[in-house]
Amino acid sequence: MTNKVVVLGSLNVDTTLHIDQMPKPGETISAKSKTNSAGGKGANQAVAAARSGADTSFIGRVGEDSNGQFMIDALKHDGINTDHVDIDKVNGTGSAVILLDNQGQNSIMVYGGANQAMKPEMIVDSESLIDNADILISEFETPQDVTYEAFKLAKEHGVTTILNPAPASKILDGLLDVTDLIVPNETESATLTGIEAVDTDSMDQNAAKFAEMGIDNLIITVGDRGAYYHTPSGSGFVPAFKVKAKDTTAAGDTFIGAFSSQVKKDLSNVEEALVYAQKASSITVRRLGALPSIPTAEEIAAEYK
């Protein structure tokens, strides 16, 4: 069975500056090199889903500029349906500047542009697309009120909704009521619950806090350590595959996109889907860039026979 995945999210052109170490406040440093690539959390997640075999569509917005066409072409290159990517005649296409050091760690600054100009009324035109989906994913690089409208429609049509609250910010009232699964990293989880996620006990406490907030299904990604999951039927920790990272830029997005390609609508195979997602992201971190680093299902199968 092939999952039909719709991603509502951001489209950014990423500029990566390769540096020896992160600058200190007030310090001027030289970049060793510069690369440009297609990115944005939404684009990364959609490409990861598509490359793992999901029938993938995108809801988003770009500027009426060359970067916008570049992003649409990048999605189409992976067979992603872009019929619901709007053209914004006022705001430019989103962009990000990424500082990447020798250890593979990064700092990212994002300009929202057209991504942040999306309006809830846009979603009406995407109802049939959402109706036909198995999974709908969204993050916080686009306005939460747009996600809320989309998730409400999804729930009316029996579609499973996955929320990646990144970058972390206060969650819009009502949004968790129409969210089936929330997937923060450990920093985002702590920001939202006020509880540091450092071990299984504290992650259990995070799960309890999210349950109080109205969401029973949780995955916390913990970088190179792995991922914690909690559902009403059980909880556990799936360790990451140990690799030497070159660039962690799209690791979390690869994880979510790959996961969405494998998970069942009722989330009954969460642990199995998590293992697959860990395999995908372990390949991503060994490559440079966002979209260029995301593996295909064939590459994942070859790597982990």
236 known member of a binding site: no
Q: Which uninterrupted H or E stretch holds 147?
A: helix 144-156
Residue 266 annotated as catalytic: no
Q: Is 178 annotated as ligand-binding?
A: no
16 known ligand binder: no
List the one residue out of 241, 281, 287 whose CA is nearest residue 261: 281
Choose, from 55, 78, 180, 253, the residue flagged as catalytic.
253
For residue 224, say whether it is annotated as part of any ligand binding site: yes
* CA distances to 62, 203, 205, 213 from 193, in Å: 33, 10, 9, 9
For 221, the enclosing helix (H) or strand (E) is strand 218-221
> Which residue is it, tokens 């992003």?
71
Q: Does the annotation flag 44 for ligand binding?
A: yes
Is 286 labeled as ligand-binding? no
- Quote the DSSP letter at residue 289: S
Cα pseudo-dihedral 273, 220, 187, 259, rounded to 10? 20
Can you tell me the distance from the alpha carbon of 27 to that of 112, in angstroms, rounded to the nearest whole number? 26
For 304, the token pair is 């982990």
The radius of gyration of the chain's CA atoms, rounded to the nearest angstrom, is 18
- 127 CB neighbour count, 10 Å cutoff: 15
> Is 35 marked within a binding site?
no
282 is in an annotated binding site: no
Q: Is 225 annotated as a binding residue?
A: yes
Is 161 part of any known ligand binding site?
A: no
Which tokens is 132 given? Answer: 């036909």
Is 180 assigned to a binding site? Answer: no
User: Is 222 marked as binding a ligand?
Assistant: yes
Q: Is 100 left (phi over 0), alpha (psi -120 to 50) or beta?
A: beta
Residue 248 assigned to a binding site: no
* Cβ(176)–Cβ(46) below 8 Å: no
Confirm whether residue 42 is marked as ligand binding.
yes
Which token pair is 27?
């310090």
141 assigned to a ligand binding site = yes
14 is known to lie in a ligand binding site: yes
Is 74 marked within a binding site?
Answer: no
Residue 12 annotated as lining a ligand binding site: yes
Burial 260-294 (b: 16+ CB within 10 A, else e): bbbbeeebeebeebbbbbbbbbbbbbebebbbbbb
Positions at the binding site for ATP: 185, 221-226, 252-253
Q: Which residues are annotated as a binding site for K(+)?
A: 247, 249, 284, 287, 289, 293
User: Which residue positions form the known binding site?
Assistant: 12-14, 40-44, 141, 185, 221-226, 247, 249, 252-253, 284, 287, 289, 293
Binding site per annotation, positions for substrate: 12-14, 40-44, 141, 253
Would you please indicate which residues are annotated as catalytic (active-site) residues?
253
